[in-house]
């Protein structure tokens, strides 16, 4: 399948036509945030000046040095990436882009004496693909997009082996044709690659049911500057510390994942998503905890707080059936604001029926009121559209950024309060949802929205991001539940691993990557501020 084209200045399909923000959302934004009077289009791509390229050659490997190739691999898709792209103010770009066709080409690139930045779908939101040279004379972006095959499916063992650069829709289509699914649907699904997901420990919208990508990895092949590492596909092992765990989430700093063996599941015959309403976020969290701990967890479970629920209904338009039902629910309980949950089950027809009955009984016991299938359908239809809205907001001079964390159930309320308070000092609209459930805790996904400070957009973001990260570590959350560390979270990593833990990771890097060519400045970077 051909690689999907991506808008250079924002998210997604270049042919996507924006229908703008719905009236309800515009009204809310005007009142609470403010909007630029005149839309601000991006700087034209051809007029962007990239840093001068250092020339080099890698025998036997195709290198692209044209403006478009370098521009498209110069950044990921974080808010600061998009601000810089739209303003035409790029500080870094790869000197060349290598497009390997074989694992041997990857090895040749690792031997070229230049810094190497593995590039999957380029959807990193933490600065993971930024082309930093480190101490090296030049930097090459290693675009894995042509290593894009499903290599085998062992149906009996339910194991599929992929090349790293296959994008998730292509991986899913190839598996579906053989009666299987990966069940991995991050919001970046349309562009993210299997290798990129494994390299960042990503989580999908149905990861409560299918597990995160790290739970699916059974085997790996990694090309490192010190040589190849082959970790066979085995269901479990007691052969010392598990090296798979070392490479899953290694973000390209130890080597390049060249093959990935993942556990797959039978393709579901039925997918059913429904809406439920709770009187408060706390009540909803208790219900989700009960679902997980009583063995009635669905595949999809997302609980929006009051603020996100309000915005969701504003986006849907007041005339929606669900919004009506929700309004009736709130009136009956004499509360002003409630919390919407989307709950979904996947599997065989009977399996979905049984699982749904078990979940609904727990939800009702915890005060949930069913809104039926229409909010579930609306969520499913729009589940990958959110990132386009971010571009619409940027055009109207609005910062819209997300961040995510996780903690134990006992600490969830504390973390929710601390991060929300920190962000509200920087943004008038802060909203949150629980997106992934575990027996011991859950993740929290925050969105914050503010009018951009003109000319200081990056500094404004830095201040909000640093405040949120400080609040996360102080309140005992993980610095990232699924976006990974990259450049942006590196200053906070030691809070989670301790300094000797960071030193141990550095020692492993020194062994596998003695010259430090692999993805400089990511994951293990030093320094104490957001870059
Ligand atoms: C709109 C949007 C929504 C998102 N939603 C989610 C979500 O729901 N869940 C989630 O988990 N994440 C999400 N993300 C973050 C991002 O999509 C994930 O981190 C994803 O896993 C990255 O995959 P990719 O192929 O694009 O990797 P890239 O962005 O290309 O690379 C990510 C990192 O992995 C390294 N890398 C890539 N391929 C390899 C390889 N083969 N070997 C070694 N290193 C490699 C890169 O050097 C980089 O450090 C979202 C991002 C955006 C922009």
Conformational region of residue 427, where left means phi above 0, alpha means psi within -120 to 50, and beta covers everything else: beta
Structure confidence by residue, pLDDT tens digits, 314-347 = 877 644 556 666 777 776 666 667 999 999 999 9
Does residue 226 have a pLDDT over 70?
Answer: yes
Structure confidence by residue, pLDDT tens digits, 125-140 = 999 999 999 999 999 9
Give strand ranges (E) for 77-133: 96-98, 115-119
Band of pLDDT at residue 202, cut at 50, 70 and 90: very high
Query: Ligand 1 center to residue 184 CA distance, Å?
Result: 13
Q: What average pLDDT does the segment 193-215 reach?
A: 97
Distances (CA, A) of 349 to 183, 228, 491: 17, 45, 48
Provide residues with CB under 6 Å of ligand 1: 11, 76-77, 117-125, 128-129, 144, 164, 186-188, 192-193, 195-197, 199-200, 202-203, 251-252, 256-257, 387, 482-484, 519, 522
Q: What average pLDDT does the segment 36-57 reach?
A: 91
**What integer best gives the mean pLDDT of the chain?**
94
Distances (CA, A) of 434 to 357, 424, 428: 22, 18, 20
Query: Ligand 1 center to residue 363 CA distance, Å?
Result: 33
The per-residue pLDDT for 175 is 98
The per-residue pLDDT for 527 is 46
Band of pLDDT at residue 528, cut at 50, 70 and 90: very low
The per-residue pLDDT for 249 is 98
The 8-class DSSP code of residue 226 comes to T
Q: What average pLDDT does the segment 29-51 reach?
A: 91
**Residue among 16, 196, 250, 405 whose CB has most ligand 1 atoms within 8 A, to mutate:** 196
Contact 304, 433 (CB under 8 A): yes
Contact 29, 35 (CB under 8 A): yes
How far, in whole angstroms, is CA 348 from its chain's centroid?
Answer: 28
Structure confidence by residue, pLDDT tens digits, 288-298 = 999 999 999 99
Q: Is 177 exposed, middle or buried (0-12, 13-18, 19+ CB in 10 A)?
A: exposed
Q: Rounded to two decimals, what is the model's pTM?
A: 0.96
Structure tokens at 166: 């296959």
> Within 402-487, where are the H helices?
412-424, 457-474
Q: How far apart are the first and last CA of the chain?
A: 36
Closest atom of ligand 1 to 117 CA is 47
Atom 45 of ligand 1: nearest residue by CA position: 252
What radius of gyration do the chain's Cα atoms show? 23
* Kind of pairing between the strands at 265-266 and 256-263: unpaired
The per-residue pLDDT for 106 is 97
Structure tokens at 100: 């390997």
% of the chain with per-residue pLDDT over 70: 95
Domains in the chain, start-ordered, CATH in brackets? 23-146 (3.30.43.10), 150-266 (3.30.465.10), 270-383 (3.40.462.40)
Structure confidence by residue, pLDDT tens digits, 472-524 = 999 999 999 999 999 999 999 999 999 999 999 999 999 999 999 999 999 99
Structure tokens at 287: 């219900």
Closest atom of ligand 1 to 213 CA is 11
How far, in whole angstroms, is CA 1 from its chain's centroid?
Answer: 23
């Amino acid at each position: 399948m051909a690689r999907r084209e991506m808008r250079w200045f924002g998210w997604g399909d270049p042919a996507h036509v924006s229908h703008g923000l719905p009236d309800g959302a515009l009204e809310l934004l005007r009142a609470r945030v403010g909007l630029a009077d005149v839309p601000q289009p991006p700087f034209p791509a051809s007029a962007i000046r990239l840093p001068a390229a250092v020339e080099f050659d890698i025998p036997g490997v195709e290198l692209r040095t044209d403006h478009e190739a370098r521009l498209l691999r110069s950044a990921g898709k974080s808010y600061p990436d998009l601000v810089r792209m739209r303003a035409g103010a790029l500080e870094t770009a790869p000197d060349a882009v290598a497009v390997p066709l074989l694992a041997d080409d990857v090895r040749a690139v690792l031997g070229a004496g230049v810094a190497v930045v593995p590039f999957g779908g380029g959807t990193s939101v933490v600065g993971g693909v930024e082309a930093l040279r480190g101490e090296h004379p030049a930097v090459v972006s290693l675009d894995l997009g042509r290593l894009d095959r499903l290599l085998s499916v062992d149906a009996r063992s339910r194991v599929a082996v992929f090349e790293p650069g296959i994008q998730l829709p292509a991986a899913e289509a190839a598996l579906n044709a053989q009666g299987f699914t990966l069940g991995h649907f991050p919001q970046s699904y349309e562009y993210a690659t299997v290798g990129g997901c494994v390299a960042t420990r990503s989580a999908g919208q149905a990861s409560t049911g299918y597990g995160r990508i790290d739970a699916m990895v059974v085997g790996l092949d990694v090309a490192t500057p010190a040589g190849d590492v082959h970790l066979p596909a085995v269901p479990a092992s007691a052969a010392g510390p598990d090296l798979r765990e070392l490479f899953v989430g290694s973000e390209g700093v130890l080597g390049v994942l060249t093959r990935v063996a993942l556990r797959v599941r039978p393709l579901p015959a039925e997918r059913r998503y429904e809406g439920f309403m709770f009187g408060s976020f706390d009540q909803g969290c208790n219900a989700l905890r009960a679902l997980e701990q009583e063995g009635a967890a669905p595949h999809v479970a997302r609980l929006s707080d009051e603020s996100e629920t309000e915005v969701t209904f504003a986006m849907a338009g007041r005339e929606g059936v669900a919004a009506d039902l929700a309004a009736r629910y709130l009136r009956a309980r004499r509360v002003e604001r409630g919390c919407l949950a989307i709950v979904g089950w996947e599997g065989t027809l009977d399996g979905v029926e049984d699982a749904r009955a078990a979940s609904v009984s727990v939800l009702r016991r915890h005060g949930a009121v069913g809104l039926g299938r229409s909010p579930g359908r609306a969520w499913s239809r729009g589940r990958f559209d959110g990132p386009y809205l971010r571009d619409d907001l940027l055009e109207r001079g609005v910062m819209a950024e997300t961040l995510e964390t996780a903690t134990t159930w006992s600490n969830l309320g504390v973390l929710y309060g601390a991060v929300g308070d920190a962000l509200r000092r920087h943004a008038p609209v802060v909203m949150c949802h629980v997106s992934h459930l575990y027996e011991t805790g859950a993740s929290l996904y925050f969105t914050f929205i503010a009018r951009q400070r003109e000319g200081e957009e990056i500094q404004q973001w830095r201040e909000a991001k640093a405040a949120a990260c400080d609040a996360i570590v102080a309140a005992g959350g993980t610095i990232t539940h699924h976006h990974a560390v990259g450049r942006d979270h590196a200053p906070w990593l030691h809070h989670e691993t301790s300094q000797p833990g960071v030193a141990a990771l550095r020692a492993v890097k020194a062994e596998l990557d003695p010259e430090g060519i692999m993805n400089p400045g990511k994951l293990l970077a030093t320094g104490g501020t957001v870059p």
